[in-house]
Structures are given as C-alpha cells and as structure tokens.
Structure 1
Amino acid sequence: CTPNFVDVQGVYSADLGVGPNADFDGNLRGADMSGERITITGKIYDGAGGLVTDAMVETWQTDAKGQYPAADAAFSGWARQACDLTTGVFTFQTIKPGCIATSTDRQSPHVSIWIVARGINLGLHTRIYFADEDNSADPVLALIEPSRRQTLIASQQGGAYVFNVRLQGENETVFFDL
C-alpha cells in the first residue's frame, strides 16, 4: 500500500481547499449583532519556539448571553482562519462570549478553538479565557493544575486580546482530549 498525499498530509491539504491563504473569514461580527466587540489575535509556536505559519484555527463560542447556538441571528458563533504565511498571526473579530450557566455551575466566558497544521495528525482542542474576567469558579479551569491555567488566558494588549499557543515545551498550552 502506497500512501497518497492526503494520507501523509491529513485533511489539512491544499488539494481540499483548506490550505494556507484559503479565503476564510475570521470576522464573526455582524452589523446588527449585540455584545461587546473584541479582537482576538495570536501566534502558534512549535516546541523549538519557531512560528507555525501553516496552521488553521477554528473557533466556536456562545453569543453575548452565553447561548449555544447563538440566539442572536446576526452572530454565527463560528469562524475559521488560516495563519498568515509570513507572520504566523491569526485574528478573529468577534464579540465577548457570555457566561454559560448550567443547573450545577457557571463556565466563565471563553472561546473554544481547534488547531490543525502540518504534522498534527489530530486537531488540538483548547480554550481561550479572558484575563479581565473572574475565572475562579470555572469548573473546567478548576480541573487544570493552577500553574498551567495561565496558558489558557488571553491578555489585553493594544486593544486586542492576545492568545499565543505553544505546542510543546515550556509553557505548553493545555489541550483537551475530546
């Protein structure tokens, strides 16, 4: 059996139209959408500290009221963005998600992300939490070692939330096995 291109590269291949520079829109914000408008930007680093410029990042989140699927018709809650091939930057224009209340707890506002790239056979799942929110009671963060929680928290810098992903090594981002 001889492996073909898709066997080697996975579903993240130029042949399937999901490669770098594909025309994906990282803008989740509709003109009539309610909620605080925010920008999330970041980069992905490999285990040696080098930029991963051929990654694709997918996001999904609640609307400003914490509802899935979004009750706000102007807001899809989902986007996909390829990293810039030169700078490695990904950027999403969105709204700040609301808290998710259940019958037993409350999850802090967060954005779920999924990352695929060359060499990543299965997509990586993680979350983006916000430094300016009270994350102390979040049941998912509570499951993570306190010293590692900071790898899931975006900081505000220059009008945007910055969330850098480290695939391996020191300060490796926490990934979830879903």
Structure 2
Amino acid sequence: MSTKIRLMRMGKIRTPFFRIVVTDSRKARNGLSIEEIGRYVPGQEPSIMEVNSDRAQYWLGVGAQPTAAVEAIFKVTGDWQKFKGLPGTEGTLRFATPKPAKSIAYEAAVKQAMDEPKEGATTMKKKAQEKLAAKANPAPVVEVSEPTATEVVAEVSEPTATDVVAEVPAEVTTTDVVVETEEAAAE
C-alpha cells in the first residue's frame, strides 16, 4: 500500500486550518486517515506549525511520501533535514512573541488615566466656553454722564375707608320671591 503524508483541510470557508495526516494515496483529501501527526494554521502571523517529529520520522522511514506542501512544512520545522541527514535540523520556524497579559495593560491604562489632569478631560461646546470666558473676564464698565431730568411727583390722594360707602343690597325675603313667581305664572 502506498502511503502519503498530506494536509487534510478543516475549518470554515475563509478561515482554513489543516491537519497533517498519513493516509492511503488512493483516498480522498478529507477521507479516512491512518494517523494524524501534526497541524498547520496559516491564518495567523506567524503561521502555526506543529509536527510530532518522532511520528513524522517513522512514516518517512517506512516510505510515506510527503506532498510538496507538507515537505515545505517539514523543512521549516527541521524534520526533512533530519530525515535526509542535512545540516540545519533545528529548522527555521519562527515563534510568536508572547503578548502581555490583558490585566497588566488594563492596570497601566487605569494608572495613566488617574495621573491626567481633570480639567482637560472633556471639551466644552463653543458657546459654553464663551460664557465661561465672559464670567471669568468681565468687560470693563464705562460710566457716561447724562443730563438727568427732574422728576415731578404729583400727589395723589388715596381713598380712605371713611370715603368709601359700602352698598349693601336689602335683604330679599322668600315670600317676596314666591309672590313674584306666582304673578309671573298668572300672566
């Protein structure tokens, strides 16, 4: 049986990742595999390449043929040089720089925010700035002398309580009202 070491595609439409598998050469790309020996994620920077070196050396030793893409991955990880006996078995694999913890970045941002002055935290609208400037720097008041007119005050006598006579209507008795209504009804 002829075996191949190739990539099995996994993942979504635009975010692929691959498993490095050993499979029968007559099987489909994503068909049944004999063994999974690594994985490859090209969507990240730098790409993730993980290979189980012992299993890769075993399968290369028993005659499994790697595809061109898998051979390139083996050259980067150093497995191909180790199999062929070439110098450079350490490979040229780049490692991602470790990212600082998010909690440290958050604490640094909070500390920086505490050190900033409070006055310039927000900007005011233009009209509000003009009002504040007017209150802080009042315009100088210039006195202009104008001719004054003499005021004439006329004396007005206010009515007192003795001048006002209260008109109180005479009391109306109910008998007068009854008589008036009977007369109106008779007519």
TM-score, normalised by the number of residues in structure 2: 0.23
Normalised by the size of structure 1, how large is the TM-score? 0.24
User: Which of the pair has more CA radius of gyration?
Assistant: 2
In terms of fraction of residues, the more helix-rich structure is: 2
Bigger relative contact order (CA 8 A; separation at least 6): 1
